[in-house]
Amino acid sequence: MPISQETVEFLEHQARVIRRRIIHMIYAAQSGHPGGSLSAADIVTALYFHFMRVDPSNPQWPQRDRFILSKGHACPVWYAALAERGFFPVEELVTLRQINGRLQGHPDMEKTPGVDISTGSLGHGLSAGVGMALGLRMDGYDARVYVVLGDGELNEGEIWEAAMAAAKFQLDNLIAFVDYNNLQLDGWCSEVMPIEPLRDKWRAFNWETFEIDGHSMRQIVDTIEAAQHVHGRPSVIIAHTIKGKGVSFMENQCDWHGRAPNKEEYERAMAELEDGPTAAKPIL
């Protein structure tokens, strides 16, 4: 069923709220990874505000859909979505990376409500997703597992071990995304370690493949729906994105992979992410 314009606009608004939260919490922490958080913001928003069956009042509900942020350094986007969804107070976001806090520098399943598995060192999330998808299928639940992968972490061999396994076990309850912003820490993916032809690689591993604009909410939603109807094999959605998306001076800049904005940069970024009357309330 085609998604309504109203839903698209709601999700686009929500994605801007998420982006504001990302900038705000990294500014407050003076530490964190804005670039890859902003590039994944539209995908994560679509999942948490349109697709995922989760219960914030019962984060361990066994039949819930699972989310894995394999590129764990981008956790500000996840924390923002979880807070906005009601898993914990949005006021807590400013405790990011602070001692005694629940919002660790990389996702910690024991500390943060709604985090289904810890991640942070790269290359492991898809394998964990295979295990979750197998477990949910054993239990007869129709829950799904969504995994967001970074493009840089596709350099890791374990990703492809997991890709083989997911296809072997015909895990059609597993949907992976590649947040393909084309920048990794040391530079362009094509220079650090080329991953192309990327779609052919996943096809060769017997996955159903989709390729989209990862900032088009309509494309994101339509494609997730299509992936949900795939039978007998896992799906990957290669989402072309822009690192730092939404904040002009952060876009496509490696430098913004893992640094916090100063006061002036923070104010410029927040101004760019203004959203009219429905904008998130000022949080500073």
Partner 1 sequence: MEWKESIPTRYAYGEELVVLGHELPNLVVLEADISKSTQTYRFAKVFPERFFQMGVAESNMMMVAAGLATTGKIPFASTYAVFGTMRACEQVRTFIAHTHLNVKIACSHGGVTPGNDGVTHQATEDLGIMRTIPRMTVIVPADYYATRKLVRAAAYHVGPVYLRFTRDPVPVIYSAEDEFVIGKGKLLRSGDDVSLIAIGDMVAIALEAHEQLAQQGIHAEVIDIHTLKPIDRALIVQTARKTRRVVTLEDHQIHGGLGSAVAEVLGEESPTPMRRIGLRDTFAESGEYRLLLQKYSMDSAAVIAAVKELMS
- Cα dihedral sign, 202-208-211-217: negative
Q: Considering CB under 8 A, how many residues would be counted as binding partner 1?
A: 30
Q: Give me 107's structure tokens.
A: 């996702």
Please list, residue by residue across 132-167, b when 16 or more beta carbons sit within 10 angstroms of its beta carbon and e when fewer do.
bbbebbeeeeebbbbbbbbbbbbbbeebbebbebbb
Q: Does 162 bind partner 1 (CB under 8 A)?
A: yes
Binding residue for partner 1, selected from 77, 136, 217, 237, defined by CB under 8 A: 136
* 138: contact with partner 1 by CB under 8 A: yes
Question: Measured from the CB of residue 90, what is the shortest distance to partner 1 in angstroms?
Answer: 26
| 52, 117, 175, 212: which one binds partner 1 (CB under 8 A) | 117
Spell out the alpha helix ranges (H) of the chain.
5-29, 34-39, 41-46, 75-85, 125-138, 157-168, 189-192, 198-204, 217-228, 263-272
DSSP 198-266: HHHHHHHTT-EEEEEETT-HHHHHHHHHHHHT--SS-EEEEEE--TTTTSGGGTT-GGGGS----HHHH
C-alpha distances (whole Å) from 163 to each of 49, 78, 170 are: 27, 23, 11
Distance CA 100, CA 223 (A): 40
**Which of 29, 52, 27, 40 shows the shortest CA–CA distance to 103?**
29
Q: How far is the CB of 237 from partner 1 (least distance, A)?
A: 20
Instruction: Decide if residue 170 touches partner 1 (CB under 8 A).
Output: no
Stretch that binds partner 1, among 35-43, 123-131, 198-206, 271-279 (CB under 8 A): 123-131
Nearer to partner 1, 108 or 251 (CB): 108
184 binds partner 1 (CB under 8 A): no
Interface characters, 236-265, with partner 1 (x: CB under 8 A) = ------------------------------
Nearer to partner 1, 37 or 127 (CB): 127
Residue 99 binding partner 1, by CB under 8 A = no
Binding flag, residue 140, partner 1 (CB under 8 A): no
Nearer to partner 1 (CB atom), residue 17 or residue 178: 178
Part of the chain binding partner 1 (CB under 8 A), chosen from 4-12, 89-97, 160-168, 235-243: 160-168
Residue carrying the six token digits 């504001």: 20
Write out the residues near partner 1 by the rule CB under 8 A: 62, 66, 109-110, 116-118, 120-121, 124, 127-136, 138-139, 157-158, 161-162, 164-165, 168-169
